[in-house]
A and B are shown apart, each in its own frame.
Chain A
Amino acid sequence: MTDVFEPQTFRVTRADLVRYAGASGDFNPIHWSERFATGVGLPGVIAHGMFTMALVGRAVTGWAGAADAVVEFSVRFAKPVPVPDTDEGTEVVVSATVKEITDDGHTRLALSATCQGEKVLSLAQAVVRKR
């Protein structure tokens, strides 16, 4: 199966998580407080799952060439994305393959997102209307 676009790398830093918390209204402290995150058994502050999904969405709409091209979009959050408190943060790598052309003539993409080589999403897919 060939990739429909070059794997795209998105850098994720603590500042991104703070900005996303404000924009989305999701102020769960596991996304900004090391003390809280480790207290509930996480390795440290983790990215909002919906932030990771949004990055995948960017890759998909970028490939489709239209902001309004996504007809369906679904993911399962399989593993957290730990974001260290460094200038570099971490990286999420997004790739996609074509799964099928639907009866409506849309393209169903199978999506992948990895962090440090581990899959952070499973069952991720999008149905895209190509203009």
Chain B
Amino acid sequence: MPLDQSFAGRSYPPTEPYLVGREKIREFARAIGATDREYHDPEAARAIGYSDVVAPPTFPIVFTMSSSRQIVDDPELGMDYSRVVHGDQRFAYARPIVAGDALVCVNSVEEITSRGGHDFLTTRSEVTTDTGEPVVTVWAKLVQRGEE
């Protein structure tokens, strides 16, 4: 069954704030082999104008992938996650994520298309602080492969 295209434009309630920990940023930076001092050393981050360590560019995936399950797991949408592969990923940053941020995601369905028996779902997560300061916008295109 193709995905219900009427879901395009649908928006979901804001997520509970994700609290960005200094050690989580360090752990993520170590896992990708990134040794930049600003990811590890609060003093180095303060020297470039941030209150604590900053996160590498792809760090938002730590919470946006799970928060967008809000959409993917919506039973009305009818997605079969076992047939889903990651197609595209895009980030547009207002500023880097900084340890201590409390981040809220507002997830929406930007686009649903079908082509060649496959369905394409683009999710969009507007990530702001819990006081409404824009931080990053994250898009993921998920491909639901056609059934064999």
Chain A residues close to B by CB (< 8 Å): 10, 16, 19-20, 22-26, 49-51, 53-55, 57-58, 60-62, 66-68, 70-77, 123
Contacts and interface: CB of A to CB of B under 8 A. Distances in A.
B38 A76 contact: no
A22 B62 CA distance: 10
B51 to A, nearest CB: 13
A58 to B, nearest CB: 5
A19 B88 contact: no
A76 B87 CA distance: 6
A77 B28 contact: no
A68 B45 CA distance: 10
A23 to B, nearest CB: 4
B90 A68 contact: no
Contact of A49 (B32, B89, B96): B89
A67 B33 contact: no
A61 B57 contact: yes
B58 A50 contact: yes
B93 interface: yes
